[in-house]
Chains A and B, each alone.
Chain A
Amino acid sequence: EPEVTQTPSHQVTQMGQEVILRCVPISNHLYFYWYRQILGQKVEFLVSFYNNEISEKSEIFDDQFSVERPDGSNFTLKIRSTKLEDSAMYFCATKDRGQSPLHFGNGTRLTVT
């Protein structure tokens, strides 16, 4: 069964550094999302992306965050200057059309020290 692939599985970075999290969506999917889950807390929506632009973003997704689909296959989340509170699991999710369910990757665990 096709799956969403995320790399790396674990990223450790120092506060203030930039990180890029990568996702390879399921091949025929058109809608892309990033979610995060701080340890012990809810899964939270960050941003949705369709037709090469952001559709919607949450309050969490401030100017430190950006997304792009640089080469038509990868979908990336960049955090420009990481903070301790950015430590979380970051999940990429994709779907093929409006009413279909989201398929999640297994996440990148980001640890900011």
Chain B
Amino acid sequence: EDQVTQSPEALRLQEGESSSLNCSYTVSGLRGLFWYRQDPGKGPEFLFTLYSAGEEKEKERLKATLTKKESFLHITAPKPEDSATYLCAVPYGGSQGNLIFGKGTKLSVKP
């Protein structure tokens, strides 16, 4: 069965304290791995798509990397506005839009 597992469930950081979030997946034939950010009461906001092992994408203080079994979201020198829940998802079934989501990592960055 295709699965997506994220760790940790929650992460508290001080402003400027870098860290990484993990997403491990078991799918047959990966067709992309997606990272989203979700603020309370809002819909997921797209961050990155990764397609192959070794690929990296960056946006401001975030960098996503991919291996054959897992993906990491590295957060460098985070700020309070980076506080959110970070979700990863992989496609399943016939369409790349049918996504299995992980439970997410709730990140809190304190000033």
Contacts and interface: CB of A to CB of B under 8 A. Distances in A.
A106 B44 CA distance: 8
B29 interface: no
What's the dominant secondary structure at chain A's contact region? strand
A14 B89 CA distance: 33
B23 to A, nearest CB: 13
What's the dominant secondary structure at chain B's contact region? loop
Contacts, number: 61
Contacts of A104: 36, 43-46
B87 A45 contact: no
A101 interface: yes
A102 B101 contact: no
A55 B95 CA distance: 8
Interface residues of A, number: 26
B99 A102 contact: yes
B26 interface: no
A92 B99 CA distance: 13
B103 interface: yes
A33 B102 CA distance: 18
Given A56-B93, A101-B34, A107 B98 contact: no
Contacts of B93: 56
18 contacts: A43-B44, A43-B89, A43-B101, A45-B99, A45-B100, A48-B95, A48-B98, A55-B94, A56-B98, A99-B32, A103-B46, A104-B36, A104-B45, A104-B46, A105-B43, A106-B42, A106-B43, A109-B41
